[in-house]
Structure 1
Amino acid sequence: MVLGADDSLELEEVDDGDKALELVRENPFDIVLLDVRMPGRSGVEVCAAIKAISPTTGIIMLTASDDESDLYESIRSGASGYLLKDGSTYEQVAEAVRLVASGQSLISPSMATKLLDEFVQMSKSPAPATNLTPRELGVLRHVARGLSNREIAEELFISENTVKNHIRNILEKLQMKSRMEAAMYAVRSKLVDDVP
């Protein structure tokens, strides 16, 4: 209802995962809201399929599932947001859409705690070095610190489009699907000293 009241947004609604994927194939969207559990394909499967055909589409999981494995699978599949239906107001969902559209990520606070616990575990076994350029490493460090594309552009004196290109290259080189997954990688690899 909140999203529908905003005339600047073009909305489409479907009732299962297969229809959602079909709709995105026909017309890639800026943002897609999915549930983890849907009729047809699961939200996680649809998320991965959408990212494969439309890598720039932002995906927010809006779900009742507080299962940490659903959170991790959603992030691995390319989700940029994970909100719990029980703990989110309509206004928070609308704000999440705006944040993800601007290149940021958002997770419900209770789920963020679980994600931070996973960071701690992952930091104990760093991943191998990659072939990222020095500029890409700099962008990745800023992503891990939670900066938006605009903030990264201002910090590095480059355009937002250049930041988007670097992030796309980083995700491709690391074989990852979302900036959140790349941020987790940066922390695990100890590329960012001031992030726990």
Structure 2
Amino acid sequence: MITVLLVDDQRLIRTGLRMLLESTTDLRVVGEAADGVEAVRLFAELEPDLVLMDLRMPGLDGVGATRQILGSRPGAKVVVLTTFDDDEHLYPALAAGAVGFLVKDTAAPDLLAALRRAVDGDMPFSPALVPRLVGRALAAAPKAEAVAVALTPREQQVLALVGEGLGNQEIADRLHLGVTTVKTHVGNLMDKTGCDNRVRLAVYAHRRGTGIN
């Protein structure tokens, strides 16, 4: 069972998230906070597996709360869920230690999957954010090269679409595959390339120069 602390200053948002998470068999909401100060206090008290964190809140905001939570427990998992996907919100949240960044129009199944992936050690991001993260990584190390690994033609196709920032469902639709099949290919790609999350895999795709055949 994955325990979750919900942090959002809007009661209606928290109620909707609680209903969504508790409709599953493996996610359980153990607390709710309406601001950053309360989030830090409840995190210390409840020790949840994951914090789902809003950014703009009165008093201590989500970035400050994330920084304090990670300061008290460096291995904590904080996933941001916000309306704002601009760089002014994205990069400070990541610098504070958030392991994922999702926008509030994320589909319910994708949100649930992202939370599970975060607990498993992945870094979930809304697909639209991936190209910006990739661009920043490429600019930081423009001459770095991808380690050559042998990929099947289908893996090359999936890798190229990951590099474009597409999510699993979008890749499945584009290649006429099942979502489960795409997830298997992405997992295999991560194993082969040594990339431990989707953003690093997308960076690898760009450095490899993979195209869709």
State the TM bucket, normalised to the shorter chain.
Answer: 0.5 to 0.7
Q: Provide the rounded CA distance (Å) in 2 between the counterparts of 1:102 and 1:8.
A: 13
Relative to the length of structure 1, the TM-score reads 0.62
Aligned to 2:59: 40
Q: Indicate if the aligned counterparts of 2:78 and 2:99 stay in contact, CA closer than 8 A.
A: yes
Judge conservation of contact 2:52–2:78 (CA < 8 Å) in 1. yes
Residue in structure 1 matched with residue 101 of structure 2 by the alignment = 82
Alignment of 1:109 with 2:119, yes or no, is no
How far the C-alpha of 1:125 sits from its partner, in A, is 9.0
Q: Is the 8 A contact 2:114 2:124 kept in 1?
A: yes
Cα deviation code 1:132-183 (max 9, x no counterpart): xxxxxxxxxxxxxxx98xx76x999xxxxxxxxxxxxxxxxxxxxxx87xx6
Q: 1:124: how far off? A: 4.3
Q: Percentage identity across aligned positions?
A: 29
Quickly say closer, same or farther: Cα 1:102–1:38, change in 2 above 3 A.
same
State the match for 2:113 in structure 1. 95
Q: Report 1 or 2 for greater relative contact order, CA contacts < 8 Å, sequence distance ≥ 6.
A: 1
After the TM superposition, which parts of structure 1 deviate over 4 Å for at least 4 consecutive aligned residues? 193-196
Partner residue of 2:46?
27
Q: In structure 2, what is the Cα distance between the partners aligned to 1:125 and 1:77?
A: 27
The residue aligned with 1:13 is: 32
Tell me, in whole angstroms, the C-alpha distance in 1 between the residues paired with 2:124 and 2:54: 15
- Asked if 2 retains the 8 angstrom alpha-carbon contact of 1:36 and 1:44, the reply is yes
Partner of residue 171, structure 2: none
Q: State how far apart, in whole Å, the 2-side matches of 1:82 and 1:111 are.
A: 8
- Between structure 1 and structure 2, the one with the greater Rg is 2
The alignment of Structure 1 onto Structure 2 pairs a total of residues equal to 144
Counterpart position of 1:72: 91
Q: Is the 8 A contact 1:68 1:111 kept in 2?
A: no
| 1:141-160 aligned within 5 A | none
Q: How big is the shift at 1:67? A: 0.9
The match for 2:170 is none
5+ unaligned residues in a row in structure 1: which ranges? 127-146, 157-178, 188-192
Alignment of structure 1 residues 130-149 onto 2, 5 Å: none
Q: In the TM superposition, what is the alpha-carbon distance from 1:72 to its structure 2 partner?
A: 1.1
CA pair 41-195 structure 1, distance change in 2 beyond 3 A: farther
Please provide the CA RMSD for this pair.
3.3
2: CA distance between counterparts of 1:38 and 1:125? 40
Does 2:81 match 1:62?
yes
Aligned to 1:123: 141
AA partner of residue 95 (structure 1) = A
Q: Could you tell me whether the CA contact under 8 Å between 1:2 and 1:91 is conserved in 2?
A: no
Which secondary structure state, in structure 2, belongs to the residue aligned with residue 13 of structure 1?
A: strand
- State the distance in 1 between where 2:28 and 2:45 align: 15
- Give the drift of 1:8: 3.3
C-alpha distance in 2 between matches for 1:43 and 1:34:
6
TM-score calculated relative to the size of structure 2: 0.58
| Secondary structure in structure 1 of the residue aligned to 2:51 | strand
Deviations 1:76-124 (A, max 9, x none): 11111101112x0122111111000111011111111111111122114
